[in-house]
Structure 1
Amino acid sequence: MATHRPSEPDGISLRLPSPVVELHDDRLRPHDVRLLLKRDDLIHPDVPGNKWRKLKFNLAEARVQGCHTLLTFGGAYSNHLRATAAAGRHFGFDTIGVVRGEEHLPLNESLAFAAGMGMRLTYLDRTTYRRKTDADVLSRLANQFGPCYVLPEGGSNALAARGCAELVDEITEDFDTICSASGTGCTLAGIAARLRQGQRAIGFSVLKGGGFLNDEVRRFQREAFQAETHNWSLETEFHFGGYAKRKPELDSFISDFEDRHGVVLDWVYEAKMMYGIFARVASGSIARGSTVVAVLC
């Protein structure tokens, strides 16, 4: 596997390692739990968190292959499309975003940002989009746009899992448990693969019916590290209705968290994880005396 690292061109400064800060919250004190935030959301405003970590080795591999164009997939509000467009601009790649559904003008804020970063947008009807990994669909895109380095939806693949694993190496504090939000299982797979003996990872699924992610985590680990680990688990009770869905209690939690700590949690991913952490602390599922790291991305 390629080990080349993309260089940082003029005009982009990545905050790496991302900071680790302790969260002081009176709800944790009775349980003697220490909570640290791994602020991957501060890596770069355009390519934050696991978006950068997933792209890092893929960008390097695209260069090794001599590809000058990145092609990837996403919904109309995809943060991955935004991040890929920004990374392409900063690192000198052309970018193509294949969007699920029909074109709607004016573009929403996410797609307008991607287009503003130079991404060429194209659209697939929902039936065809469900077949986006099929050879005939990929062949048609290749005929239309020429040679491209193809990134999967969400940017999740073996190289992405390797990139996510690196965040563990940046944490110098001792900890017992590390938590991340899970949409594809890739970040959890990478984190768990890099933990030391006795440490565990918990993924909080943001998808309704997210149990299938257990198989995805194992697949990513096999593909990226040629081995599965057994030091992780997946929580599936904190999806609040499913992907990109929310409920009043989640909104109240986000508002209260901002008031207490001055941190605005992303409601699609981070807030569901953080809500789950506090619920597990309160129930005793996270052991008394533990140090927990929560990854914000």
Structure 2
Amino acid sequence: MQAIPIAPLVATSWFGYRNVSIIRGDLLHPVVSGNKLYKLIPVFEQLEKGAGTTVMSVGGRYSNHLHALAFAAHAHGMPSVGLVQGYPEQPLTPTLRDCQRWGMTLHWLSKVDYQQRYEEEFWQQWQSEYPGSKAILEGGWSNESIVGGQQWWSGIASDTDIVITAVGSGTTLAGLALSAPAHVKIIGIPVFNDPDGYQGLKQKLAEVGVSENQYELWSGHTGKKFGSLNQEQEEFAEVFYQQNRIKLDPVYTTKVFHAVQSRLQQDKTLLSKKIAVLHTGGLQGNRK
């Protein structure tokens, strides 16, 4: 039995772009939504076989991932631990207040410690403090979560030509690319800068069987930095809401929809394609 009931995916139109459908992951659940929820459901289905397992992950003070993890752990009756980049003297964000309310134990990481989160020794240290715990990588990257990302197809029309998603950890991109029908192009829009041209991301995708001919990256749309918008993107989000009555977040969806609009204006051939853009949720991060 699924501990977190989710609504069916629905698609809505984008004002001014009749060929584009918005796949409303933001409507899956009133508290947590979008790709974070899809990525975590299969993980917890596996963990239920070992009831009482502590789940542990890492993120920032406004992390959608930690927020969804804390909620899912609470719903499944499992302890959770959040390793947060920040300092104890900083006021708790609404995100972290929710995490605590759902029973998540918070530990603070300095910037130096946080940079070690991709190292095996980092997780060995924390798992020694919580023996038997399940470490979930930042953003939820795992084989189970990649499979979970394939649930997006339930809301995407079969005659779609292009599916577009934000790229953070790459989990959703991997899930889509591995399960896409032959006629569908998968496009990922990175929301973080990478001076190495996303070689690390491409290598990570290759390791789970996703070749570079199975997807395309649209780079150059990150704004100021991860989690921060430039003025043009901020203004876009306001106009988008006025026209569509759909809220966007500053980490993922504002950058994605702004990028799609820019590409549609630059490349008129895209106007003849049927495009689906994933709204991956994350609206809780709008709270200050």
TM-score relative to the length of structure 2: 0.89
Does residue 46 of the first structure (1) align with residue 65 of the second (2)?
no
| Aligned-pair CA distance for 1:294 | 0.5
Question: Contact conserved, 2:70 with 2:102, CA < 8 A, in 1?
Answer: yes
Question: Contact conserved, 2:54 with 2:130, CA < 8 A, in 1?
Answer: no
Does residue 231 of the first structure (1) align with residue 222 of the second (2)?
no
Structure 2 CA distance for aligned equivalents of residues 127 and 66 of structure 1: 34
Quickly say closer, same or farther: Cα 1:237–1:135, change in 2 above 3 A.
closer
Structure 2 CA distance for aligned equivalents of residues 158 and 81 of structure 1: 19
48-57 or 62-71: which moved more? 62-71
> Which residue is equivalent to 2:5?
13
Q: How does 1:104-115 map to 2 (within 5 A)?
A: 104-115=89-100
Structure 1's consecutive aligned runs of 4 or more residues displaced over 4 angstroms after TM superposition are: none
> Which residue is equivalent to 2:43?
58
Structure 2 CA distance for aligned equivalents of residues 227 and 77 of structure 1: 30
Question: Contact conserved, 1:71 with 1:151, CA < 8 A, in 2?
Answer: yes
> Which residue is equivalent to 1:257?
240
133-142 or 211-220: which moved more? 211-220
| Aligned-pair CA distance for 1:185 | 1.7
286-295 or 129-138: which moved more? 129-138
Structure ranking higher on relative contact order (CA contacts 8 Å, 6+ apart): 2
| Aligned-pair CA distance for 1:105 | 4.6
161-170 or 81-90: which moved more? 161-170
> Which residue is equivalent to 1:3?
none
Structure 2 CA distance for aligned equivalents of residues 59 and 20 of structure 1: 27
Question: Contact conserved, 2:193 with 2:222, CA < 8 A, in 1?
Answer: yes
Equivalent in 15, 23, 34 of residue 24 of structure 1: 15
Q: How does 1:97-246 map to 2 (within 5 A)?
A: 97-209=82-194, 212-213=197-198, 215-217=200-202, 219-220=204-205, 222-223=207-208, 226=209, 228=211, 230-246=213-229
Q: Deviations over 1:34-68 (max 9, x none)?
A: 01011011111322100011112211222235552
Structure 1 CA distance for aligned equivalents of residues 268 and 250 of structure 2: 23
Instruction: Tell me the SS of whatever aligns to 2:251.
Output: coil
Question: Contact conserved, 2:177 with 2:210, CA < 8 A, in 1?
Answer: no
Structure 2 CA distance for aligned equivalents of residues 214 and 292 of structure 1: 26
98-107 or 41-50: which moved more? 98-107
- Letter of the 2:263 partner, please give it: R
Structure 2 CA distance for aligned equivalents of residues 199 and 278 of structure 1: 20
Structure 1 CA distance for aligned equivalents of residues 196 and 242 of structure 2: 33
> Unpaired segments of 5 or more residues in structure 1?
1-6
Structure 1 CA distance for aligned equivalents of residues 148 and 240 of structure 2: 29
| Aligned-pair CA distance for 1:292 | 0.4
> Unpaired segments of 5 or more residues in structure 2?
281-288
| Aligned-pair CA distance for 1:214 | 5.3
Quickly say closer, same or farther: Cα 1:54–1:213, change in 2 above 3 A.
farther
Structure 2 CA distance for aligned equivalents of residues 272 and 295 of structure 1: 12
Q: CA RMSD in A?
A: 2.1
Structure 2 CA distance for aligned equivalents of residues 110 and 66 of structure 1: 26
Does residue 73 of the first structure (1) align with residue 78 of the second (2)?
no
TM-score relative to the length of structure 1: 0.87
> Which residue is equivalent to 1:280?
263
> Which residue is equivalent to 2:272?
289
- Letter of the 1:131 partner, please give it: Q
Q: How many residues align?
A: 280
